[in-house]
A and B are shown apart, each in its own frame.
Chain A
Amino acid sequence: MKREIVYGLRSLRPRPLTMFALWSLPEALPAALSGVAVARAVDEGFLAGRPLVGLAWLASVMVAAGIGALGARGVYRRLGDLVEPFRDDLVTLTVEGALSRAVRGEGDDGALARLTHQSEIVRDTYAGLLVLTRGFCVTTIGAVVGLASVSPLVLAWTLPPFALGLGLFLATLGLAARRQREYVRSDEELSTTVTRVLGGARDLAAGGARPWALDLAGRAVDAQARAERSLAGVAVLRTLCFAVGGWLPLIALLAAGPWLVSRGVTAGAILGGLTYVLIGLQPALGSLVQGLGGSGLRFVVTLGRILDTAATPPPPPQPAAGRALGHLSVCGLTFAYGPRAAPALDGLDLDLPAGSHLAVVGPSGIGKSTFAGLCAGLLEPGAGTVTIDGHGPDSPELRVLIPQEAYVFTGTVAENLSYLRPGASAGELDRAAQAVGAAALVARLGGHDTVIRPADLSAGERQLLALTRAYLSPAPVAILDEATCHLDPAAEERAETAFAARGGTLIVVAHRISSARRAGSVLVLDGTSAVHGDHTTMPERSPMYRELLGHWEAAAQIQPAS
């Protein structure tokens, strides 16, 4: 809780905060004046037989309310100055966190919810807390000043129980935040589980797993109900604190009434005192208890979740010195997805001189993408190294990876194509598109300046754009990780041939065995070993390769020529 409060306080800009506080002063006026005005209106006006004086006193409260209204307007305007920059920070933090987790390969379902839903909760509750705290301070100070001016004796009887209640309430906040966090967590857990179970209703029915699924979801339902019940305990504590701070001053004042009258305190003063308690201290404490207990806790919990996922952006990569050739060297490369997992790669050695063309083949799930990820510096090897021209993984400008799911963002065609070569000329873009076979697509889209949306393009079209982009990249090593799987065989061949002629080193994670036929050398992964050789000798050396080849050819025979 401390971290979130500190973050919230640090985000307050001093200048707008000062203005915010200054505008609060006129706003406090009605609260401060009302008790005194009522006391005077009664004592000197209505009871003294001068109703006009009484009315004048009441009218003075309305004048004060008018000034207070100006204050309120100023306060809310300044609120924007405080809250909007805070929201900007949150959004930035969320985006940075989500991106840096995503590039580390960590799945993150909640990023969009954090960006839209949760940052809005924090924005609203932050504003709410500012208004609330300020309102509490203003009203309390106003009421205390008013009480003192009515009679210091009245103040002495009412302030201590109020302060006690306030202190007790603040002490319960830590517990409340913990329970609230648990509640939110159980709620999310519930909706994740329910989404799974209902999304898989067909599969669960087919598997005869109704009782199991109902039990799975039922556990989450019960956990949520437990968390909700435990919130009731906190609410009871809050009610008790409010009883002490809000009602005890009243009883104290009434109990002391006869004594106060004997000390010369007037009827108006007691009425004024009661007014300050009932329309000042008690509602102020009430809204503080409600507000901190509700939106305050939501603020802490939700902000906490955003801060948990925040990350410092990585330092910009340092360009490697020297001319890039693309000599890729793999040495003792070992990788497993976890301490208990069997290694996907085990002590792999491979040397690809600049200009090589390698195809990686093997069944799905065998570690081909893992190998591509290691070459591209996306994964950290358990042992061994991958270097390009002697440089380690911190030199992203030396390699370009095109994954199966091509990345296209909303923007112009040119923005998308020149992503890895900022400032590329129109001619360069056209030549690259022509080379990989995307020229017709670019023309159909309407040229370089058309704004495209990824959802409007087919998977194959996205792949063609990503291929053109990668072709333009100055990186000497290109890694195609099933990057052509949505293209037909002819288009695939054209793209691969273009990349082979591009210069530098090409690694193709093969989707079809034909990719291996085109490559200078083949790396076969079969789960236990890796065999590297050329396409002609490989069938003799690798049973797995033989099998893959066999399936391809068998399928091609059964398949009539198309």
Chain B
Amino acid sequence: MSVHGPIVRRGGAWLPVLAVSSLSGAAVALALPTVLGRAVDAIVTGSDSGRWLALTALLITAGIIADLVDTLAGTVCVASTTAWLRRRVLGHLLDLPPVSSARFDTGDLVSRVSGTAPQAAQSGLSLVTVFAAIAPPVGSLVLLTLIDWWLAVAFLAGLAAIALVLRTYTRRTTQVVADYQRVQGELAGRLSEALAGARTIAAAGTTAAERDRVLRPLPELHRHGRLTWRVLAGTGAKAAVVGPMVLMGVLAAGGIALSRHRISTGDLFAAGQYAMQGAGLGGLTGVLGGLARARAGVRRMDEVLTEDVMPYGQAVLPAGPGRLELRDVSVEAGGRRVLDGVDLDLPGGASVAVVGRSAAGKSTLAAVAARLRDPDAGSVLLDGTALEQLDRESLRSAVGCAFERPVLVGATVADAIGLGRGDGFARRAAEATYAHDWVSRLPEGYATPLDSAPMSGGEAQRLGLARAWGARRLLVLDDAMSSVDTATEALIRRALTRDHSGRTRLIVTHRASTAAGSDLVVWLDGGRVRGVAEHSDLWLDPDYRAVFTSEEDPR
């Protein structure tokens, strides 16, 4: 189902208004030269010019009104359709499965919402625009032929010349522009390196040297830049010849017709005007390009809008301790079984560590447990209810997840933790996760804008953890403290083990100390469960110990 239909319907009452106004604008443009020609004839012959004059004034006024309506209605129509489309796409994107073999990267999606949506929103309007834009030049050509068919011949010959000139321009420019952009890219690369090394540069006081280093390709950029103008100069010169050529050709043909009394002075005048309007045919490519862009925009919107969303059920989570069951859960990604028939039954209220070598399926297990993706086979149950049967609100308030690389969203630190749950929540969660003292030292405490709070990986993880702290039944930590320093991690771990809110904690970790502090350890190996037991029992197995030696040192 394409979003084209809804977009056109969104245009609603505006589109007919726009159609009427642009078509009447086109009609005025076509009628005006003839009426002006009659007025000239009337003035020259001294006959009653008042009638023609009044008509001229009327037409011009009508043209101006049509123009005003076009401008106003066009903008309002596109603006409100764009806003509607953006909201719709954003809503859809937020409904997609949060973790999947992502078809779209974020930059691409952002460009669709910010750049493509306005283009797609034009798809109703651009149809109207195309008709309105085709009418004057085509009509001009017809009217030229009606005045005298030689005029049309002269006109078409001139147009062919213009087309030829424009073609050579595009070809030559492409190469020159490519060279220019290459040097520009080099400059940008140098600047971005220097910006990344700002602290070193600042401490060494070498800003001036860096400026020179970054700007070293500038003379080359200058050289390529000049070339672009030279290409333009050649084309500009040709355009300056062929432009008047069309008009003068038509006037010459018209002049001869005038001298043979086939047409009047006013006709000659009108012919000149039609020749100029007819030259607007060249501008048609632009209008058609607009239509093509709108169509392409709609396609790009459709690509996103046809992606399947994550469905939610109606069930409400029954009371329970937070017992987590995985029944024969398998997940495939990139043609590989990431989880392979995993069966687990984890007691409610326990702290459970998940360990394993890289690519053992730990993060996928975390994602499945927090329903950030659905397994390809098998089911996940929380207190006896399958996760996909729970309604969204019930699921998300019961289950929370903290990540190794949390993405913080919101204007301020408080927003980033609270996600709309209020500043009180943010502060309580930060206190519970020992982030409060550090947040208090930020320039404006909890109100510090995220932009102006440069954060290390460990600091971001601490906010990510606080953010997930509200989970009532199951808290999943996907390697969420890997960059937190040892002392803070110990404090948080203590908070996790002494957590008396009775929720289950599933902790993906690389650290033996974390596994040692948990009630139970799930040992994954190649997507399968290798063992579920206490750390001290598993420790007897050299393979289990090898899981930790392969990782970096624990600090």
12 A-B contacts (beta carbon < 8 Å)? A65-B248, A66-B241, A102-B194, A201-B96, A202-B372, A239-B67, A257-B49, A258-B46, A267-B40, A337-B441, A399-B203, A558-B513
Q: CA of A212 to CA of B425 in the docked complex: distance in angstroms? A: 15
Task: Report chain B residues within 8 Å CB of A197.
Answer: 90, 94, 409
Task: Report chain A residues within 8 Å CB of B452.
Answer: 107
Task: Report chain A residues within 8 Å CB of B420.
Answer: 209, 211-212, 215
A27 contacts B240, C-beta separation under 8 Å: yes
Task: Report chain B residues within 8 Å CB of A261.
Answer: 43-44, 46
A76 contacts B462, C-beta separation under 8 Å: no
Question: CB-CB contacts of B66-96 with A at 8 A, as 1s and 0s?
Answer: 0110011011101110110011001101111
Interface assignment of A15: CB less than 8 Å from any CB of chain B: no
Q: CA of A336 to CA of B228 in the docked complex: distance in angstroms? A: 52
Interface assignment of B13: CB less than 8 Å from any CB of chain A: no
List CB contacts (< 8 Å) of B212-271 with chain A: 213-215, 218, 221-222, 225-226, 228-230, 232-234, 236-241, 243-245, 247-248, 251-252, 255-256, 258-260, 265, 268-269
A34 contacts B486, C-beta separation under 8 Å: no
A204 contacts B448, C-beta separation under 8 Å: no
Task: Report chain B residues within 8 Å CB of A208.
Answer: 392-393, 395-397, 419
Q: CA of A419 to CA of B214 in the docked complex: distance in angstroms? A: 14
Task: Report chain A residues within 8 Å CB of B244.
Answer: 30, 34, 61-62, 65, 68
Interface assignment of A245: CB less than 8 Å from any CB of chain B: no
B83 contacts A222, C-beta separation under 8 Å: yes
- Tally of A-B residue pairs with Cβ under 8 A? 500
Known A-B contacts A54-B259, A232-B75, A316-B208; the reply to A201 vs B240 at CB < 8 A is no
Q: CA of A461 to CA of B366 in the docked complex: distance in angstroms? A: 33
Which listed residue (B203, B410, B438) contacts A377, Cβ 8 A? Answer: B203
Q: CA of A479 to CA of B203 in the docked complex: distance in angstroms? A: 10
Q: Is chain A's interface secondary structure helix, strand, loop, or mixed overall?
A: helix
B191 contacts A112, C-beta separation under 8 Å: yes
Q: CA of A199 to CA of B109 in the docked complex: distance in angstroms? A: 9
Task: Report chain A residues within 8 Å CB of B485.
Answer: 363-364
CB distance from B251 to the nearest CB of A (A): 6
**Which segment, of B1-9, B135-143, B400-408, B500-508, faces chain A?**
B400-408
Task: Report chain A residues within 8 Å CB of B188.
Answer: 112, 115-116
Which listed residue (A59, A236, A420) contacts B68, Cβ 8 A? Answer: A236
A560 contacts B549, C-beta separation under 8 Å: yes
A111 contacts B195, C-beta separation under 8 Å: yes
Which listed residue (A71, A80, A198, A337) contacts B230, Cβ 8 A? Answer: A80
Task: Report chain A residues within 8 Å CB of B272.
Answer: 38, 275, 279
Interface assignment of A409: CB less than 8 Å from any CB of chain B: yes
Interface assignment of A187: CB less than 8 Å from any CB of chain B: yes
CB distance from B455 to the nearest CB of A (A): 9
Task: Report chain A residues within 8 Å CB of B208.
Answer: 313-314, 316
Q: A88-B222, A232-B75 are in contact. List 13 more A-B contacts (CB 8 A).
A: A62-B245, A68-B244, A72-B236, A73-B234, A76-B232, A103-B201, A111-B195, A200-B409, A210-B94, A213-B409, A258-B43, A409-B194, A562-B553
A95 contacts B215, C-beta separation under 8 Å: yes
Q: CA of A479 to CA of B200 in the docked complex: distance in angstroms? A: 11
Task: Report chain A residues within 8 Å CB of B76.
Answer: 229, 232
Interface assignment of A4: CB less than 8 Å from any CB of chain B: no
B218 contacts A555, C-beta separation under 8 Å: no
Task: Report chain B residues within 8 Å CB of A251.
Answer: 53, 56-57, 60
Known A-B contacts A100-B207, A202-B98, A203-B406; the reply to A364 vs B459 at CB < 8 A is yes
CB distance from A118 to the nearest CB of B (A): 12
A558 contacts B211, C-beta separation under 8 Å: no
Task: Report chain A residues within 8 Å CB of B545.
Answer: 560
B241 contacts A274, C-beta separation under 8 Å: no
Task: Report chain B residues within 8 Å CB of A84.
Answer: 222, 225-226, 229
Which listed residue (B438, B444, B487) contacts A547, Cβ 8 A? Answer: B487
CB closest residue in chain A, given B193: A409
Q: CA of A482 to CA of B158 in the docked complex: distance in angstroms? A: 72
Q: CA of A561 to CA of B251 in the docked complex: distance in angstroms? A: 96
Q: CA of A211 to CA of B214 in the docked complex: distance in angstroms? A: 45
Interface assignment of A292: CB less than 8 Å from any CB of chain B: no
A198 contacts B200, C-beta separation under 8 Å: no
A378 contacts B440, C-beta separation under 8 Å: no
CB distance from B177 to the nearest CB of A (A): 10
Which listed residue (B44, B203, B392) contacts A396, Cβ 8 A? Answer: B203
CB distance from B505 to the nearest CB of A (A): 15
List CB contacts (< 8 Å) of B461-486 with chain A: 462, 464, 467-468, 484-486
Which listed residue (A73, A105, A402) contacts B198, Cβ 8 A? Answer: A105
CB closest residue in chain B, given A267: B44
Known A-B contacts A210-B94, A363-B487; the reply to A108 vs B195 at CB < 8 A is yes
Which listed residue (A247, A399, A409) contacts B197, Cβ 8 A? Answer: A409
Interface assignment of B185: CB less than 8 Å from any CB of chain A: yes
Interface assignment of B516: CB less than 8 Å from any CB of chain A: yes
A187 contacts B98, C-beta separation under 8 Å: no
B195 contacts A232, C-beta separation under 8 Å: no
Interface assignment of B161: CB less than 8 Å from any CB of chain A: no
Task: Report chain A residues within 8 Å CB of B43.
Answer: 254, 257-258, 260-261, 267, 270
Interface assignment of A191: CB less than 8 Å from any CB of chain B: yes
List CB contacts (< 8 Å) of B167-187 with chain A: 184-185, 187
Interface assignment of A137: CB less than 8 Å from any CB of chain B: no
Question: CB-CB contacts of A315-340 with B at 8 A, as 1s and 0s?
Answer: 01100000000000000000011111
B201 contacts A102, C-beta separation under 8 Å: yes
B407 contacts A202, C-beta separation under 8 Å: yes
B259 contacts A558, C-beta separation under 8 Å: no
A58 contacts B248, C-beta separation under 8 Å: yes
A194 contacts B114, C-beta separation under 8 Å: yes
CB closest residue in chain B, given A106: B452
Interface assignment of A389: CB less than 8 Å from any CB of chain B: no
Interface assignment of B285: CB less than 8 Å from any CB of chain A: no
Q: CA of A271 to CA of B67 in the docked complex: distance in angstroms? A: 26
**Which segment, of A43-51, A351-359, A428-436, faces chain B?**
A43-51
Which listed residue (A46, A221, A338, A551) contacts B87, Cβ 8 A? Answer: A221
Interface assignment of A235: CB less than 8 Å from any CB of chain B: yes
Task: Report chain A residues within 8 Å CB of B256.
Answer: 46, 51, 54-55
A51 contacts B202, C-beta separation under 8 Å: no
A58 contacts B93, C-beta separation under 8 Å: no
CB distance from A161 to the nearest CB of B (A): 12
Interface assignment of A96: CB less than 8 Å from any CB of chain B: yes
A99 contacts B214, C-beta separation under 8 Å: yes
A214 contacts B87, C-beta separation under 8 Å: yes
B484 contacts A364, C-beta separation under 8 Å: yes
Known A-B contacts A58-B255, A231-B75, A243-B64; the reply to A195 vs B443 at CB < 8 A is no
Interface assignment of B199: CB less than 8 Å from any CB of chain A: yes
Which listed residue (B187, B233, B410, B448) contacts A115, Cβ 8 A? Answer: B187
B110 contacts A194, C-beta separation under 8 Å: yes
Which listed residue (A79, A92, A454) contacts B193, Cβ 8 A? Answer: A454
Interface assignment of B113: CB less than 8 Å from any CB of chain A: yes
A559 contacts B195, C-beta separation under 8 Å: no
Interface assignment of B149: CB less than 8 Å from any CB of chain A: no
Interface assignment of B554: CB less than 8 Å from any CB of chain A: yes
Q: CA of A33 to CA of B419 in the docked complex: distance in angstroms? A: 70
Known A-B contacts A367-B441, A560-B545; the reply to A403 vs B200 at CB < 8 A is yes
Interface assignment of A405: CB less than 8 Å from any CB of chain B: yes
Known A-B contacts A100-B207, A341-B441, A341-B444; the reply to A116 vs B184 at CB < 8 A is yes
Task: Report chain A residues within 8 Å CB of B148.
Answer: none
Interface assignment of A36: CB less than 8 Å from any CB of chain B: no
Task: Report chain B residues within 8 Å CB of A103.
Answer: 198, 201-202, 207
